[in-house]
Structure 1
Amino acid sequence: MEKQLKALAAQLRCPEGEDGIKLGHLMNMSNLSVILHGITNLQIQKKDNILELGYGNGELLSYILSLAEDIHYTGLEISPTMHQQAILLNKPYIDAGMANYQIYNGVNLPFIEPQFDKILTVNTLYFWKEPIKLLQNIYQALKLNGYFVITFCHKSFMQNLPFINYGFQLYEVEEVKQLFNQLPLKLVNEAYKKDKSISKTGALVEREFTSLTFEKTE
């Protein structure tokens, strides 16, 4: 059982191979309400240039692009398997210049100048190796008065999951806020939600999650 839990935790962190492809689809379905919560709080508007960290297999790109006119989407992902799947699923959008996908190392962003109106990340926080450095790089990529939305499940929920001891760093809301205290980003909205979810091990659980919206004010 321990070996299986370790394998599941590794796939959740960085989906790989055929099992990773299957898990990528499952994660979209099981986490749909969490993902949509983040997207909604991003408040996408016409002509927004959007960056998402951790796009998975890209199944929700068409929905994101439908939310406003003339928007552009860029995705960064650590998983080569998910990167390949996203390109395969969304080639027409990529060819039309509406979206692009890139691989990154989970810390360094391939952008020199502030260029994004909105930045989103959902359920990646638990795997951040260098949180402060990553947040500094996100800050640099965000335009003045742009929004960064981070969506995550609470530590009080996550800590009861059987695979959580294998590579996950858990946070409560106040702990996440403390990470941001070191950056000139202003917290402008806190949105909380609960739902019922089927966990990766097949159990029905009550899930608590939050989207925090930060604005770049200087």
Structure 2
Amino acid sequence: MDPIELSSQLRKPTGETGKEIGKVLNESNRGLYELAFEMMSLQKDDQVLEIGFGNGMHFPEYFRLQPRISVTGVDFSMDMCEEAKANNADLVASEKLTLHCEETSSLPFPDNRFDLGVALNVIYFFDPPEIHLKEIHRVLKPGGLFLIGYRPRHSVEHLEFTKKNFILYEADELTALLKKHNFKKVEAETRSSQKMAMDDTEVRVTDSCLLFRKT
């Protein structure tokens, strides 16, 4: 797959190719999800919003951490929404998990709804970021948390597929951006590992998570 097509599929997995991309992402994002789940302190009855959930194979992990929560997912790829519903049929049927095929620029939820927002490897695709961050801020409860998982610019900018559709950040840039939209950084964690990139290039990957609080 050429870098431009790969970039487009990573932004919005579509069709049979998108489904295959989703499967590859399950493995390539494993370390980032593990780090993110370690940083979550889920409480009984928490309302969680995840943005850009892909094929949703990770959703059961939320309930292993805390069985008595509700999780809502939003993704703008219809194909990923259908995959996630199929992969989590029991959770959807029990109404522990609710999935929406929507844009984050206009979230279909009331103000002050969620205790925690999660966006893993999707911040690059908020273009422009302002409209998405305002919506996320709106639907979080006062003092609610927003967990962003991402790969810093220095660790991925050499990969051809990041040169289109991606807005890359370093930690200080993301912190400044979120501060402008009334979020305060409360925690940061980073890990590095060696793995194969989406273009079959062996790279050292940096998984980073920033946790913010709504102010």
Q: TM-score, normalized by length of structure 2?
A: 0.95
| 1:10 alignment partner in structure 2 | 8
What is the CA-CA distance between 1:130 and the residue it aligns to? 2.2
What is the CA-CA distance between 1:31 and the residue it aligns to? 1.1
What is the CA-CA distance between 1:152 and the residue it aligns to? 0.5
| 1:102 alignment partner in structure 2 | 100
CA pair 164-184 structure 1, distance change in 2 beyond 3 A: closer
> Percent identity at matched positions?
28
Cα separation, 1, equivalents of 2:140 and 2:31: 26
Letter in 1 for 2:207: F
What is the CA-CA distance between 1:40 and the residue it aligns to? 2.1
Letter in 1 for 2:166: F
Is the aligned partner of 1:75 residue 2:73?
Answer: yes
Tell me the number of residue pairs that the alignment of Structure 1 and Structure 2 aligns: 215
Q: How does 1:56-135 map onto structure 2 within 5 Å?
A: 56-135=54-133
Cα separation, 2, equivalents of 1:140 and 1:71: 20
What is the CA-CA distance between 1:209 and the residue it aligns to? 2.6
Cα separation, 2, equivalents of 1:176 and 1:194: 19
Cα separation, 2, equivalents of 1:38 and 1:142: 18
Q: 2:114–2:141: 8 Å Cα contact kept in structure 1?
A: yes
Letter in 1 for 2:136: I
Aligned partner of residue 127 in structure 2, secondary structure: coil
Cα separation, 2, equivalents of 1:54 and 1:123: 8
Q: How does 1:1-218 map onto structure 2 within 5 Å?
A: 4-217=2-215
What is the CA-CA distance between 1:111 and the residue it aligns to? 1.2
Cα separation, 2, equivalents of 1:16 and 1:72: 27
CA pair 139-106 structure 1, distance change in 2 beyond 3 A: closer
What is the CA-CA distance between 1:60 and the residue it aligns to? 0.8
Cα separation, 1, equivalents of 2:52 and 2:61: 16
Cα separation, 2, equivalents of 1:166 and 1:139: 27
List alignment gaps of at least 5 residues for structure 1: none
Q: TM-score, normalized by length of structure 1?
A: 0.94
Q: 2:52–2:76: 8 Å Cα contact kept in structure 1?
A: yes
Q: 1:42–1:213: 8 Å Cα contact kept in structure 2?
A: no
What is the CA-CA distance between 1:6 and the residue it aligns to? 1.1
Q: 1:107–1:130: 8 Å Cα contact kept in structure 2?
A: no
Aligned partner of residue 45 in structure 2, secondary structure: coil
What is the CA-CA distance between 1:68 and the residue it aligns to? 0.7
Cα separation, 2, equivalents of 1:130 and 1:103: 20
Aligned partner of residue 2 in structure 2, secondary structure: helix
Cα separation, 2, equivalents of 1:111 and 1:13: 23
Letter in 2 for 1:82: M
Cα separation, 2, equivalents of 1:84 and 1:40: 28
Cα separation, 1, equivalents of 2:187 and 2:104: 25
Letter in 2 for 1:164: T
Aligned partner of residue 66 in structure 1, secondary structure: helix
What is the CA-CA distance between 1:96 and the residue it aligns to? 0.6
Cα separation, 2, equivalents of 1:95 and 1:41: 28
List alignment gaps of at least 5 residues for structure 2: none
